[in-house]
Amino acid sequence: MAKYRIAWLPGDGVGKDVLDAARIVLDALKLDAEYVHGDIGWEFWCREGNPLPERTIEMLKTTDCALFGAITSKPQKEAEEELAPELKGKGLQYRSPIVRLRQLFDLYINLRPAKAYKGNPLNIKEGIDLVIFRENTEDLYFGVEFHPVPEEMRKIPGMERVPADAAVSLKVITPKGAERIIRAAFEYAKKKGRKKVTCVHKANVVRLSDGLFLDTAKRIAEEYPDIEFDHANVDAMCMWLVKNPERYDVLVAPNLYGDIISDLASQLVGGLGFASAANIGDNYAVFEPVHGSAPKYAGQYKVNPIATILAVKLMLEYLREEEKAEKLERAVAEVIEEGKVKTYDMGGENTTLEVAEEIAKKVS
Among the listed residues 331, 360, 316, the one whose alpha carbon sits nearest the alpha carbon of residue 117: 331
Query: Which one of Mg ion, ligand NAI, none is in contact with 259 (Cβ closer than 5 to 8 A by kind)?
Result: Mg ion
Cα gap 46→136, rounded to integer Å: 28
Cα gap 281→45, rounded to integer Å: 26
Residue number, 186 or 287, with CB nearest to Mg ion: 287
- The answer to whether the beta carbons of residues 51 and 97 sit under 8 Å apart is yes
CB of 290 to Mg ion, least distance (A): 7
Per CB under 6 A, contacts with ligand NAI among 43-82 are 70-73
- Residue 135's H or E segment, with its range, is strand 129-135
Which neighbouring-strand residues pair with 8? 37, 67
> Hey, CA dihedral for 97, 98, 101, 106, is it positive or negative?
negative
Site string for ligand NAI, 296-335 (x = CB under 6 A): x------xx--x----------------------------
118 is catalytic: no
Site string for ligand NAI, 250-289 (x = CB under 6 A): ----------------------xx--------------x-
Query: Which one of ligand NAI, Mg ion, none is in contact with 272 (Cβ closer than 5 to 8 A by kind)?
Result: ligand NAI
CB of 184 to Mg ion, least distance (A): 19
Query: What are phi and psi for residue 201, nearest 5 degrees?
Result: -160, -170
- The answer to whether the beta carbons of residues 270 and 279 sit under 8 Å apart is no
- The answer to whether the beta carbons of residues 316 and 328 sit under 8 Å apart is yes
CB atoms inside a 10 Å sphere around CB 34: 13
Query: Which one of ligand NAI, Mg ion, none is in contact with 70 (Cβ closer than 5 to 8 A by kind)?
Result: ligand NAI
CB of 85 to ligand NAI, least distance (A): 22
**Gap between the terminal Cα atoms of the chain:** 22
CB of 354 to Mg ion, least distance (A): 29
Q: Contact region for Mg ion (CB under 5 A) — 75-83, 93-101, 258-266, 312-320?
A: 258-266
What burial class does residue 310 get, using C-beta atoms within 10 Å of its C-beta: 0-12 exposed, 13-18 middle, 19+ buried? buried
Q: How many CA atoms lie within 13 A of 252 on its CB side?
A: 30
Question: Going by C-beta distance under 8 Å and a sequence separation of 6 or more, which residues neighbour residue 86?
Answer: none
Query: Which one of ligand NAI, Mg ion, none is in contact with 264 (Cβ closer than 5 to 8 A by kind)?
Result: none
CB of 157 to ligand NAI, least distance (A): 41
Per CB under 6 A, contacts with ligand NAI among 333-352 are 345
CB of 290 to ligand NAI, least distance (A): 7
Query: Which one of ligand NAI, Mg ion, none is in contact with 243 (Cβ closer than 5 to 8 A by kind)?
Result: none
327 is catalytic: no
Cα gap 194→190, rounded to integer Å: 6
141 is catalytic: yes
User: Is 259 a residue that touches Mg ion (CB under 5 A)?
Assistant: yes
**Considering 16, 202, 302, 324, which one is annotated as catalytic?**
202
Q: Contact region for ligand NAI (CB under 6 A) — 124-132, 222-230, 234-242, 292-300?
A: 292-300
Number of H helices, E strands in the chain: 12, 12
Residues lying near ligand NAI in the complex (CB under 6 A): 70-73, 98, 272-273, 288, 291-296, 303-304, 307, 345
